[in-house]
């Protein structure tokens, strides 16, 4: 049954199925704990699959998204029996360790897109790109995202068995590049993708994705899924 669900997820991503971003009802506190009832009503993006071949991943990962007038809210729920992180400062090379990522292309044409990553240590990396995949990288760009991580276990302690880690983000629309207008409206569609990397000591060296790129490059713009904003 699990394999069937995962394969269905891949098929939906390939067919361009929309992910519906529901409007948040009430305030969202960015603390890494998905206590607000709005998160329970959010559609689940996942489970993620292996990015190279779309097969079942080694540990469960899903994401949920919400929005209001000012922010896109993103939550990742990552299963892990040994939560570990190498980097503790923002804009270090998080992509070489354990991390979750969101790529956002508001215009949907690949001309401008943004990459935002969060590690289990709550360190954040962000960059923007202009002119196509991996083109015009701007490391000075800041998403100004609010972010928090909750570890269900003990960070960087292999002596116990953890359950996983949860990331919560509030990304201001005002910071995103390639925005066709100041904020989205109901019915608007963006291109996006969601990823997780499990790498480093004690990890399987695995890339996961919501919409698998089917090659070794997370900047596969042609494989991005579509999000649709709804009330």
State pLDDT tens for residues 128-142. 999 999 999 999 999
CB of 153 closer than 8 Å to CB of 164 = yes
Reported as a pLDDT band with limits 50, 70 and 90, residue 201 is confident
Q: Which residue, chain included where needed, has tokens 């939906």?
A: 12
- The correct CATH number of 2-230 out of 3.40.50.150, 2.70.150.10, 3.40.50.1820, 2.60.40.1190 is 2.60.40.1190
Tokens found for residue 132: 């196509």
The encoded tokens of residue 120 equal 């289990």
Q: Specify the pLDDT at position 200.
A: 86
Annotate 79-108 with b (16+ C-beta within 10 A) or e (fewer).
bbebbbbbbeeeebebbebbbbbbbbbbeb
* Nearest of 22, 17, 16 to residue 186 by alpha carbon: 22
Q: What is the mean pLDDT of residues 172-195?
A: 97
Closest residue by Cα to residue 162 from 200, 204, 120, 118 = 120
What proportion of the chain, given as a percentage, has pLDDT over 70? 93
């Amino acid at each position: 049954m699990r394999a069937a669900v995962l394969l269905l997820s891949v098929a939906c991503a390939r067919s361009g199925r929309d992910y519906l971003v529901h409007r948040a009802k009430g305030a969202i506190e960015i603390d890494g704990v998905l206590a607000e009832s709005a998160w329970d009503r959010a559609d689940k993006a996942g489970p993620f699959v292996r990015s190279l071949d779309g097969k079942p991943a080694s540990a469960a990962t899903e994401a949920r998204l919400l929005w209001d007038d000012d922010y896109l809210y993103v939550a990742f729920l990552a299963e892990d029996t040994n939560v570990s992180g190498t980097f503790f400062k923002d804009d270090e090379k998080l992509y070489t360790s354990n991390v979750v990522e969101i790529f956002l292309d508001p215009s949907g044409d690949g001309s401008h897109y943004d990459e935002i990553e969060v590690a289990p240590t709550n360190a954040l990396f962000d960059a923007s790109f202009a002119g196509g995949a991996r083109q015009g990288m701007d490391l000075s760009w800041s998403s100004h995202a609010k972010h928090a991580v909750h570890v269900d276990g003990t960070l960087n302690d292999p002596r116990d068995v953890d359950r996983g880690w949860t990331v919560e983000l509030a990304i201001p629309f005002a910071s995103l590049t390639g925005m066709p207008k100041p904020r989205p409206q109901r019915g608007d569609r963006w291109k996006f993708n969601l990823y997780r990397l499990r790498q480093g000591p004690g990890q399987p060296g695995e890339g996961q994705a919501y919409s698998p790129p089917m090659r070794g490059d997370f900047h596969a713009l042609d494989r991005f899924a579509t999000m649709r904003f709804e009330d």
